[in-house]
Chain A
Amino acid sequence: MLSQAAMEKFQQLLEHYPDKRAALLPTLHLVQSEVGYVSKEAIDYVAGLLSLTPTYVHSVASFYTMFYKEKMGKYVIQVCRTLPCALCGSQKILEYLQGKLGIEVGETTPDGTFSLVTVECLASCGTAPVIQINDDYYEGLNPEKVDRILEELSRK
């Protein structure tokens, strides 16, 4: 399930901790970065790697919102909804995205390009409203900026 490069990273990770189990979150991150989400198969696979039970891995993975339980779009648009962003118009940004993409929160565009979710405070309150798309933050948003970002990503 993991590529050679990811497998090497995994081996290095194990050296960071006195207890193998501590590598669980980093390993789940590795798997998700390769597969896109934490599937049932991924849970069994990680359990095998770390000598844990699949039930245990599932109980941990399901606690953390960053581990997706299902296949997501190529770009996951995460709109911050917490107070500092909400005071600066995050709801309007969310509604704009819904209109533009034609999907509701929790959905993925039919072509599999964009998923739309809401998240809690991203620790970027000074540049609200803020969204995160995959690894990157996009700050100080307005509809025009959103247009430019979506256009750029669609072209990639």
Chain B
Amino acid sequence: MAERIVFKNVDVPNSQALEIYRSRGGYRALEKALKEIKPDDLIEIVKRSGLRGRGGAGFPTGLKWSFVPKESKLAKYLCCNADESEPGTFKDRVIIEKDPHLLLEGIALTCYAIGIHTAYIYIRGEMIYGARVLEQAIAEARAAGFLGKNILDSDFHLDVHVHRGAGAYICGEETALMESLEGKRGEPRVKPPFPATQGLFGGPTVINNVETLANIPDIIWKGPEWFAAIGTEKSTGTRVFGVSGHVNRPGTYELPMGVTARELIYEHAGGIRGGRQLKAFIPGGSSVPFLTEKHLDVKLDFESVAQAGSLLGSAGIIVMDDTTCMVWAALNLCHFYEHESCGQCTPCREGTRWMSVVLERIEHGKGRQEDLDLLLDVCNNIRGQTLCPFGDAALTPVESTIMLFRAEYEAHIQGKGCPFSR
């Protein structure tokens, strides 16, 4: 089995307990860093590792940290983005529930590197069990001297708080997350200013995904060269791929970046259920373009998936077999985006609604020939016209299914109904 980094402890019984984490080498990276490594050198180590954000955008983590000013009159903050809500993505929840101390150690190292003394874990409101596990782990870590004042007898201190969301997908967007944490509606901010200079409560802020932070302890302990040797040249390390939909063994698989979609879907996830044919898959959560069986040999790293016309995003792979209607799938996701649009930008709020109306009528046999051009026109009027990436995400399932499966849309319109039985 390939080397695991963020999932290395998840199969161990009682893995969420501090004593188990300690017995498996936990908190030794923090101890080493506090005793031997200067904060600036930590940032350099993470830069050299090539680690890129695991939330979806893939921004280089060390570079993000280096944007935060060294001196600041206002307090600096770390927000751990645990608002895992991208359809098809279910990896952070595993880390949170099974290895909370790995996340806390990653948070402590990150805060030490940047000079932060308060961190918030913004966890989606539905994950009530996960929030309890984290609270328990924070209490344990405090009592053992890994959090709080004078951590491990150093002069470094850090408080970590769990902050629950309340059911809004948009709060996974970093500026909406900060608005929500400040007790406001989760409406994305205009950028600039960027969070690194003016973020939470006006202070310089870093927002990192759970899986990103969970990589930090091993990068520090084993070194950036060790990490950079895993994966591909520009997409280093592993990725937790979540495979869902029509496969025999859905689940989360931590594998080196650059594994092919074919190996992931057919070997690890056991192939298509019922021995059926694969029709389409979404490689990075619902916000990225669909791919088809032609793309099965695409390597799942940031560059290769982009070259194939999609994005690696959150690495949530949604697999659909040949019984799946693409109009129905696009409509399902369009309803999701319509429901989750924060409503701030007109093209997104109104566009998602109208795309749903038009898709609904195509799916139910009332479609018109001109509807496909109308849908693409709506897409073009959302693209780039909104404050945050949500608008572009929302149009993607609609646009990409029309591009790849236009004949199927036309069959709905000409045949006055959906040719697939369900």
Contacts and interface: CB of A to CB of B under 8 A. Distances in A.
Are both chains from one complex?
A: yes
Contacts of B165: 25, 64
A106 interface: no
Interface in A113-138: 119-128, 132, 135-137
B161 interface: yes
A22 B124 CA distance: 16
Given A18-B201, A124-B93, A59 B166 contact: no
Contacts of B85: 120-121, 123
Residues of B in contact with A, size category: 35 or more
A66 interface: yes
B342 to A, nearest CB: 8
A21 B166 contact: no
A83 B90 contact: no
A125 B166 contact: no
B286 to A, nearest CB: 6
B339 interface: yes
A29 interface: yes
B377 interface: no
Interface stretch (B36-44, B99-107, B237-245, B298-306): B237-245
Contacts of B169: 120-121
A10 B86 CA distance: 31
Interface in B67-92: 75, 84-90, 92
Contacts of B184: 21, 60
A64 B246 contact: no
A21 B182 CA distance: 6
Interface string B234-276: 0000000011111000111000000000000000000000000
B316 interface: yes
Interface stretch (A84-92, A97-105, A148-156): A84-92
Contact of A82 (B87, B126, B166): B87
Interface string B6-36: 0000000000000000000000000000000
Interface string A41-69: 00000000010000000011001111100
A29 B85 CA distance: 19
Given A66-B167, A125-B89, A87 B243 contact: no
Nearest to B323: A87
Nearest to B340: A120
B180 interface: yes
Given A121-B86, A121-B87, A125-B89, A83 B166 contact: no
B128 A82 contact: no
Given A25-B180, A63-B186, A84-B245, A121 B336 contact: yes
**Most B-side CB within 10 Å, residue of A16, A84, A120, A127:** A84
A143 interface: no
Nearest to A125: B244
A26 B329 contact: no
Contact of A83 (B127, B164, B181, B336): B336
A19 interface: yes
**Most B-side CB within 10 Å, residue of A125, A136, A137:** A125
Contact of B185 (A26, A60, A91, A135): A60
B324 interface: yes
A16 B128 CA distance: 19
B333 A83 contact: yes
A23 interface: yes
Contact of B183 (A23, A83, A123): A23
B90 A125 contact: yes
Contacts of B163: 16, 25-26
Contact of A64 (B129, B168, B339): B168
Given A25-B164, A64-B166, A125-B90, A120 B244 contact: no
6 contacts: A25-B180, A26-B164, A29-B166, A60-B183, A67-B166, A120-B336
Return the 5 tightest CB-CB contacts between A and B, nearest first: A24-B183, A64-B166, A125-B244, A66-B167, A21-B183
Interface of B: 75, 84-90, 92-93, 120, 124-129, 159, 161, 163-169, 180-186, 201, 242-246, 250-252, 286, 316, 318, 320, 324, 329, 332-333, 335-336, 339-340, 342, 422
Interface of A: 16-19, 21-26, 28-29, 50, 59-60, 63-67, 81-84, 86-88, 91, 119-128, 132, 135-137
